[in-house]
Structure 1
Amino acid sequence: MATIPVIDVAPARRGERLDTVGRAIDAACREVGFVTIVGHGIAPAVVGDLTAAAQAFFALPDATKATIAMPGGGRAWRGWFPLGAELTAGRPDGKEGIYFGTDLPADDPRVRAGTPLHGPNRYPAEPPGMRRAVEAYLAAVTALGQDVLRAMAVGLGLDADWFVRELTADPLVLFRIFRYPPVSPGALDETWSVGEHTDYGLITLLPQDDADGLEVHGPAGWIAVPSRPGAFVVNLGDMLERMTRGRWVSTSHRVRNLSGRDRLAFPLF
């Protein structure tokens, strides 16, 4: 497979042709672990409003962004981190970002117990539309993820509701907003926006813009994922590879922003 397949999931979102969509996903997940999906039904304004809010936030001074810095989020792992603060394979990534997730109140038993990755989100005071944009995106893309998992279940020979019944009725959703500054031509041998890695959950959903930069390590080497504005890329995580006993693959991938401008990424895990 020299390219990432494009799959129309509109029928699956209507609860139709799950077998057809599931077979297409199964074929891709056996070989490369990545698909591009269209017909997903996410309104452009959901991504557009989030883009506007994220651009406004990242334009603020670091001192202002630091009012929601990650150390204040504790074990919930929520908040902002500055450029270069995250490492992949021991090397700093060329990105800054904000971590969000399933928004739980302080009196939730899991929060009171200090369960890692569980807690309230940390929303900035500026821009004022950030919370609304994040909540709309979380709701829309989480629902999309549940429908993708239904098609995946059928592709694996299970009933459509297997994942939601066994694992995702109350999902632990992790969501990131990343800003990738452009990589300068002189740093191409050293600098990655995100270094080579695999994801560790079930699936990741990522909306596409008009610039390339995502690369996937397929059976024949590195594959550039072509930009397809308005589509979403879906990839498998390590958990799903283990659950399928290797039938499906969690594939190494990396990101380098060669667009010459800042880029944003909104992965939901």
Structure 2
Amino acid sequence: MTSLQIVDKNFSQVPIIDVSVLVYQTGNSSGETRQNRLEVAAQIRQACQDYGFFYIVGHGVDEQLQQQLEHLSQQFFAQDIETKLQINMAVGGRAWRGYFPVGNELTSGKPDLKEGIYFGAELEENHPLVKAGVPMHGRNLFPSNMPQFRETVLEYIESMTKLGHILMASIALSLALEESYFADRYTKDPLILFRIFNYPPNPSLSEAKSEWGVGEHTDYGVLTILKQDNVSGLQVKSKSGWIDAPPIPGSFICNIGDMLDRMTQGLYRSTPHRVLNQSKSNRLSFPFFFDPNFNVEVKPIELNEVVVNDDKSDRWDKASVREFRGTYGDYLLNKVSKVFPELRQTVF
């Protein structure tokens, strides 16, 4: 496993940041609180520049809610394939919601060794974006035989959306911007995408022969907040090579996406990552994507200290987020159409 050897001890562990001052003192304008918030923002800045990833603790998301979500997810994936396919993504249509079986999602054209369910913000049929047929907006699909699933998922999405707003305010501070910078321009009405993935045990535990749960990729938006179960598998491409980002009890792991890379002109890079389940048990993960509004045009921020370099040479897909022009929806649809090529033909 030479590709996972850690050469530089400075990059042997993704940093852990306590964000409780952001969560529990929101609205407190005292000088001490302001200073504490700036200190957290400085830690986030360092993490974003060194890794593009950081763990957070003190986030305030209810532990019982998380356990319920994990328990129900285990129940869902333990069912037979016919039952799970009752909410398959073809039923979700343009809303791009529902279940997909192992091998149906592609990364760089190769099937991932995972199954999952796609969710998003719950929008009624009379919502303007739903009526207009805008892709990736609409109602979620929930299993009819698990009545608690809907309530739990929607409560979790609500909690994580609040956390996303809090973290984006701190990321704005980390860039010496007003805390409301991203909310004012991009995320007042964010595009919320939530996934529950199940990675089955690998057919071969040898990395040279194993199938990737998900291959090397970067995320598309501004911020991903990931809940992991107790099974390792996430790997991050640090400056010294691939390193493990194992689950830490009570934490989430966050990473920045392509649009924040674009906005900061590469000061904060969207870091490649991948998943390899080397255990003999299933692995659950819960990525929550806090993204720009679907219809907003994403533009670079004027940052004095940034020197813009070509970003294609070292990207996993040899593409450039700097050269992109258009709305976030344009960027996202181009990406997801490659993830589910068969579904693309019927939805778009």
Q: How would you bin the TM-score normalised by the shorter chain? A: over 0.9
Q: How far apart, CA to CA, are the structure 2 residues paired with 1:127 and 1:256?
A: 29
1:127 is matched with which residue? Answer: 146
Query: Counterpart amino acid of 1:96?
Result: E
2:206 is aligned with 1:180 = no
Aligned-pair CA distance for 1:187: 5.5
Aligned residue pairs: how many? 269
| Percent of residue pairs identical | 46
Match of 1:11 in 2: 21
Whether 1:152 and 2:162 are equivalent positions in the alignment is no
Give a deviation string over 1:205-248, Cα, whole Å, max 9, x none. 01133222110111111111132022000000000000011110
What residue in structure 2 maps to residue 162 of structure 1? 181
Cα distance in 2 for residues equivalent to 1:61 and 1:210: 24
SS at match of 2:242: strand
Summarize the alignment of residues 83-232 of structure 1 with structure 2, pairs less than 5 Å apart.
83-186=102-205, 188-189=207-208, 190-232=210-252
Residue deviations 1:165-209 (CA, integer Å, cap 9, x gap)? 222121110000111111133553240111110000110001133
Return the offset for 1:116. Answer: 1.3
Deviating above 3 A after TM superposition, structure 1's stretches of 4 or more consecutive aligned residues are 184-187
In structure 2, what is the equivalent of residue 245 of structure 1? 265
Q: Distance in 1 between matches of 2:228 and 2:104?
A: 25
Q: What's 1:234 paired with?
A: 254
The alignment yields a C-alpha RMSD, in angstroms, of 1.2
CA deviation map 1:71-122 (0-9, x unaligned): 1111110000011111111111110000000111111111111111111111
Is contact 1:209-1:230 (8 Å) kept? no
| Greater relative CO (CA pairs within 8 A, separation 6+) | 1
Answer yes or no: is the 8 Å Cα contact 1:100–1:176 preserved in 2.
Answer: yes
In terms of mean alpha carbon deviation, does 229-238 or 257-266 score higher?
Answer: 257-266
| Cα shift readout 1:41-91 (whole Å, capped 9, x = no counterpart) | 111111111111111111122111111110111111000001111111111
Q: Which has the larger radius of gyration?
A: 2
| Structure 1: runs of 5+ lacking an equivalent | none
Q: Compute the TM-score of the two structures, normalised by the length of structure 2.
A: 0.75
| 5+ long unaligned stretches in structure 2 | 1-9, 27-32, 290-348
